């Protein structure tokens, strides 16, 4: 059985609980409720807003909380319905490769679309399970926050998405899901079957980062950093296979294969020589390797240029890179523990 955070016992009179006592009860669940909102929304920023809305609704409804369900289950129920309400007025959040169509010509002009609400990366400190969690919970939490899985969830209608997350990620019983969503058990089972079928059609193969031994992973990332910082495009190309994908929202194109990725970089990267780019490591979406790429400016200062999230194959090649350009990059880098500027020193 998965260990859960231990919260203070609920008060005998919910109507008289103080703000401080209420926060003590719900605070152990903050990270997992935040991660739940991210799975539903595909946006870190939306997840932050909906976490706060969940807590507001929980505070207002605490007097009616009858303690038949655990605090954890009660909060997930509120968060799920809060997210479903928000999704009524929001579009799905894709990656460029999820928009449909063939891979792009790397020598064609780059096109941006700021009207699309692109999928966002997730900072690992916000997604981490509590220290009291057992290893099975840690692995499950990481796998269910991977960027490829979140992108696949975006293809599901809202209720299918909620049912799949509650059943397959949180391991709720069908009756619990039915009660949460106001559905029958038969409807929940039908939605789950459709969601699983659609997910198999759009989801890539299971991420193999967990299977990559630490030595190979370290050496792969060291070669990756050196190739970019030396601005050695041939070395960059050698890191990818013919089936590797590169995409970079809010640019609408996605690019297939090492040679095509190399043409894209040669034709569009502002770097000209070794030292123009600096990569600083971080992690995203449940432990995926990620880098803040800093590009040199006319004043010689390296500033945030893109946040790269990598998916590695077990053989040490790079399967997929999503290079995020959207948003306030200085603020985004800070969220991932990266500084506002970088230095070659």
pLDDT tens string 15-43: 566 788 888 889 999 999 999 999 999 99
- Give yes or no for a cis peptide into 250 (omega within 30° of 0): yes
The better pLDDT of the pair 239, 200 is held by 239
- Express each pLDDT in 207-251 by its tens digit: 444 467 889 999 999 999 999 999 999 999 999 999 999 999 999
pLDDT at 14 > cutoff 50: no
Find the range with the poorest average confidence among 103-107, 211-215, 254-258.
211-215
pLDDT at 117 > cutoff 80: yes
Task: Give the residue-averaged pLDDT of 262-275.
Answer: 97
- Give the C-alpha distances (Å, rounded to integers) separating 159 from 34, 43, 81, 182, 183: 19, 17, 10, 11, 10
pLDDT band at 141 (very low <50, low <70, confident <90, very high): low
pLDDT at 294 > cutoff 80: yes
- Express each pLDDT in 57-103 by its tens digit: 998 888 778 777 889 999 999 999 999 999 999 889 999 999 988 99
Task: Give the residue-averaged pLDDT of 179-189.
Answer: 97
pLDDT band at 315 (very low <50, low <70, confident <90, very high): confident
As a whole-number percent, the residues of the chain with pLDDT over 70 amount to 87
- Supply the pLDDT for residue 88: 93
- Supply the pLDDT for residue 121: 96
User: What is the pTM assigned to this prediction?
Assistant: 0.88
The b/e string for 44-73 (b: 16+ C-beta within 10 A; e otherwise) is bebbeebbebbbeebeeebeebeeeeebbe
Q: Which of 83, 64, 89 is nearest to 13 (CA)?
A: 64
Residue pair 28/3 in contact (Cβ under 8 Å)? The answer is no
Interhelix angle 185-202/174-181, nearest 10 degrees? 100
- Supply the pLDDT for residue 165: 97
């Amino acid at each position: 059985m998965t260990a859960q955070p231990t919260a203070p016992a609920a008060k005998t009179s919910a109507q008289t609980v103080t703000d401080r006592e209420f926060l003590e009860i719900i605070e152990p669940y903050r990270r997992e409720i935040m991660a739940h909102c991210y799975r539903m929304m595909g946006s870190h920023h939306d997840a932050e807003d909906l976490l706060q809305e969940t807590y507001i609704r929980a505070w207002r409804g605490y007097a009616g909380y009858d303690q038949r369900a655990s605090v954890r289950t009660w909060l997930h129920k509120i968060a799920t319905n809060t997210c479903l309400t928000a999704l009524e007025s929001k579009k799905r959040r894709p990656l460029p490769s999820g928009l449909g169509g063939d891979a792009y010509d790397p020598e064609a002009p780059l096109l941006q679309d700021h009207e699309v609400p692109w999928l966002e990366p997730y900072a690992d400190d916000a997604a981490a399970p509590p220290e009291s969690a057992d290893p099975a919970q840690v692995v499950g939490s990481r796998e269910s926050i991977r960027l490829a899985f979140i992108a696949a969830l975006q293809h599901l209608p809202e209720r299918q998405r909620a049912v799949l997350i509650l059943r397959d990620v949180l391991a709720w019983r069908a009756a619990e899901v039915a009660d949460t969503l106001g559905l029958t058990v038969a409807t929940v089972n039908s939605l789950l079957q459709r969601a699983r079928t659609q997910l198999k059609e759009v989801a890539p193969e299971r991420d193999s980062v967990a299977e990559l031994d630490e030595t190979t992973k370290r050496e792969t990332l060291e070669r990756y950093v050196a190739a970019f910082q030396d601005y050695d495009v041939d070395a960059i190309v050698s890191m990818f296979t013919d089936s590797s994908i590169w995409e970079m929202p809010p640019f609408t194109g996605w690019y297939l294969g090492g040679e095509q990725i190399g043409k894209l970089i040669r034709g569009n990267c502002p770097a000209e020589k070794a030292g123009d780019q600096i990569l600083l490591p971080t992690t995203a979406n449940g432990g995926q390797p990620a880098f803040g790429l800093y590009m040199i400016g006319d004043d010689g200062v390296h500033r945030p240029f893109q946040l790269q999230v990598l998916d590695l194959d077990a053989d040490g090649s790079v399967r997929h890179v999503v290079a995020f350009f959207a948003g306030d990059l200085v603020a985004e880098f800070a969220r991932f523990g990266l500084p506002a500027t970088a230095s070659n020193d």
